[in-house]
Amino acid sequence: FDPLADVVPPDYTLCLPVPKGKTYTLAPGTYCDKTLSGNITLEPGVYIMRGTAIKPGGNGSLTGQGVTIFLMEGAQIYINANEQVNLSPPTSGPYAGITIFENHENTSALTLNGGANSVISGFVYAPDAPVSYAGNSDMSGQGDCLRLVGKTVQMTGNSSIKTDCSAVLGSREMYASRLITLVK
């Protein structure tokens, strides 16, 4: 059972430059072979990370409403406990309901160890990679929902996930989500 088997990542565009400094806003597009750190705000849209690491760093943040992040060619996201993350997916279009999509060829670990006020909603999809979901947070709080798909999913700490997502994900709802499903 692969809830996003029909999703085709967008074509790559030219690699965009990353602004200098520790606080910046990124426009939708393709970012290549960089480490993004500090306080990162994503404008609504689709982001393709090619070999890019998103690591906000101590007391950094990653924020974006209406965003889909595609992790390609070894790209990864590493959120540590002191960092804040607030991400939500678009509500319409081809990537509605998808917040993070790690392509099948990418086996880089996806680490979401958010702080107490962190919120991620929508699908977090890494079918061939380990997903670590930890921290003393309700990453799907404030009425939002979260769907984790990974080769392995490790949940530790006081983390929680809201299980009724039909209002948020619509046609992408993963109806078998109340079960742990093993896929060979």
Q: pLDDT tens digit string along 22-67?
A: 999 999 999 998 999 999 999 999 999 999 999 998 889 999 999 9
Residues contacting residue 114 through CB under 8 Å, at least 6 positions apart: 79, 81, 83, 84, 85, 120, 135, 137, 139
Nearest to 64, CA basis, from 92, 115, 100: 100
pTM summary value: 0.87
In sign, the C-alpha dihedral spanning 43, 44, 45, 51 is positive
CB atoms within 10 A of CB 155: 14
CA atoms of 101 and 75, how far apart (whole Å): 11
The larger pLDDT score, comparing residue 140 to residue 146, is at 146
Residue with tokens 């392509």, as numbered in its chain:
103
Q: What is the pLDDT of residue 173?
A: 55
DSSP label at 14?
Answer: P
Distance CA 48, CA 106 (A): 13
Check residue 177 and give its pLDDT.
Answer: 47
User: What is the percent of the chain where pLDDT is above 70?
Assistant: 78
The tokens for 95 are 């990537």
When pLDDT is cut at 50, 70 and 90, the band that residue 79 belongs to is confident
139 with 161: CB under 8 angstroms?
yes
Q: Characterize 96-113 residue by residue with b for buried, 16 or more Cβ atoms within 10 angstroms of its Cβ, and e for exposed.
A: bbbbbbbbeebebbbbbb
Helix (H, G, I), strand (E, B) or coil at 41: strand
pLDDT tens, residue by residue, 84-105: 889 999 989 999 999 999 998 8
